[in-house]
Chains A and B, each alone.
Chain A
Amino acid sequence: MQQTQLMAAPADAATSSISLRGVSKAFGPVRAVRDLDLEIRQGEVVAFLGPNGAGKTSTIDMILGLSQPSTGQVRVLGMAPHEAIRRGLVAAVMQTGGLLKDLTVAETVAYTASLYPTTAPVADVLRRAGIAEIGDRLVGKCSGGEQQRLRFAMALLPDPALLLLDEPTTGMDVEGRRAFWTAIRSDAARGRTVLFATHYLEEADAYADRIVLVSKGRVVADGSAAEVKKLASGRTVRATIPNPDEQALKAIPLVDAVEIRGDSVLLHSRDTDEVARHLLTRTDARDLEITSRGLEDAFLALTRDEPVATTGALA
């Protein structure tokens, strides 16, 4: 599989927020991360995407110093990950767990705050996170949304220079999601780097400066949303064809890939006009729709098991 470097990242480890060089991580015979290089500058908002098992979690664990790379070097803000953690420069918000059920919300924040030499006042943090009124409630009695707000409050206590987020907006409504990203963007403007993993591709599209797509332990695309989308070139023709014949469809000139869902057929091509003309004149296809490919298509094309014809345009 080809690796695509659209961004010529400056390789200055002293100013990089995250610097991974030739990083591999093996668990016995399983190679979760393979020779991964990644430079992320301070103040960037980066979406970290990839299918399950692509090596996202393993990579994040190494950035957080929770595990050591088998080979290669990981630097965070120019230091070893655990040094950056000890200085309160890195924080992470995980989706589940990480809370004691038998402490109250305010106690949990006070506990975390006491571990740092300096933090914002606990009362202020509770208020900004919108959990001041439930400060006396036991964490075990809080809803999932309240627990997530508590995790954010804890992460923001030390004013981290790097924030890692795992599926940050799961369970938020549209308004909450928009407010969340506005806050994240304004923190990034002050120099905070944010790396987030998400399944909402439109969110990565809308809010990330940069998208890093990993598959099978490697970076397969790295660039702005527009650049990554361009990698999956061409458009899709959708048509209704009774009893479609896959072999015949694949034989149509310029068709790169064929998907059949019952009577519905999806044809991917760089020249969809020609394909549409063919369908309308030589077959009994009807209800044609032509759509350009989005981030989701790029995601699928770039992380597919076998490289499809479209990836020929990558290298």
Chain B
Amino acid sequence: MSTIDLSARRTPPLGGFNATILGLELRRMLRNRRTVIFTLIMPVALFLIIGLNSKYVHESAGRGNVSAYVMISLAVYGAVLATTSGGAMVSLERALGWSRQLRLTPLSSTAYIALRMAVALALGLASILVVYAVGIATGKASMPLWVWITTAAIGWVGSLVFAAFGLFMGYLLPSENVMQILGPVMAGLAALGGLWFPLQDGSTIQQVAQFTPMYGLAELARVPLTGGTVEIGWVVNILAWLVIFAVGAAWRFRKDTARV
């Protein structure tokens, strides 16, 4: 009886992370009608309805107009919804037994998390770019070029916080439709973050809202347009929530791998 040569076997580079799985994962996201509607179509539709209102087009806001202000807010909203969806896909994959299947392959858990984050950020970027592209095409949002670029960059990088949030929720909630639960939560957080309508400075609601997870990101993403000073509280808000969600995700991830 022969035996198989064990010494000839190697482990894959980068823990198994590769371009093929990244491409296939992106294709999967775009096949999901719900994801496409909520992260790519809805922010654009809301911008077309709200942002192009002639009152907003003619009202100035810092270095541009209110249309630009609305556009940034909706792009950030689309991005955080996209990254949350991307992270929360682990929930579906656990429910389907796919994460268990992957643990029987050389793909390391670090590479798996990196893959989820990369897919989430790619979708977040797509969400921002689609809204900005429509903003350019319609020609109503007005602000200097460098503000277009900086606001998009801040919104995108900041949406990483919600990739961690999605991952945390994905490990916490055993469901195939975790986004149905998270959808209303996200809408509520967006309201508190001032993404739907500006919060009155010093109002009671603003006092509370400044501690919620979208507040810091919304303020920071719009500051190149509004031209105010960057408040340290915004940055603390973003970093604190990033740590909370990342620690939560790591905690649930460990529980998950110990049990499955």
Contacts and interface: CB of A to CB of B under 8 A. Distances in A.
Given A96-B97, A100-B93, A114-B18, A90 B1 contact: no
Contacts of A190: 2, 4
A103 B24 contact: yes
B188 interface: no
A27 to B, nearest CB: 9
A115 B97 contact: no
Q: Which secondary structure characterizes the binding site on chain B? A: loop
Nearest to B257: A66
B11 A42 contact: no
Interface residues of B, number: 35
B103 A86 contact: no
B9 A110 contact: no
Interface in A87-116: 87-92, 94, 96-103, 107, 110-112, 114-116
A78 B11 contact: no
Interface stretch (B71-79, B104-112, B237-245): B104-112
Contacts, number: 112
B7 to A, nearest CB: 10
Contact of B4 (A112, A114, A192): A192
B10 interface: yes
A158 to B, nearest CB: 8
Nearest to A97: B97
Contact of A114 (B10, B20, B258): B20
Contact of B24 (A111, A118, A189): A111
A191 B6 CA distance: 11
24 contacts: A43-B3, A65-B103, A66-B100, A85-B103, A97-B96, A98-B96, A98-B98, A99-B101, A100-B28, A102-B28, A103-B24, A103-B28, A111-B20, A111-B24, A114-B18, A114-B21, A115-B12, A115-B16, A115-B18, A161-B4, A161-B6, A189-B2, A191-B4, A192-B4
Given A85-B105, A87-B10, A94-B101, 8 more contacts: A15-B3, A43-B3, A87-B6, A97-B96, A102-B31, A159-B4, A189-B2, A191-B4
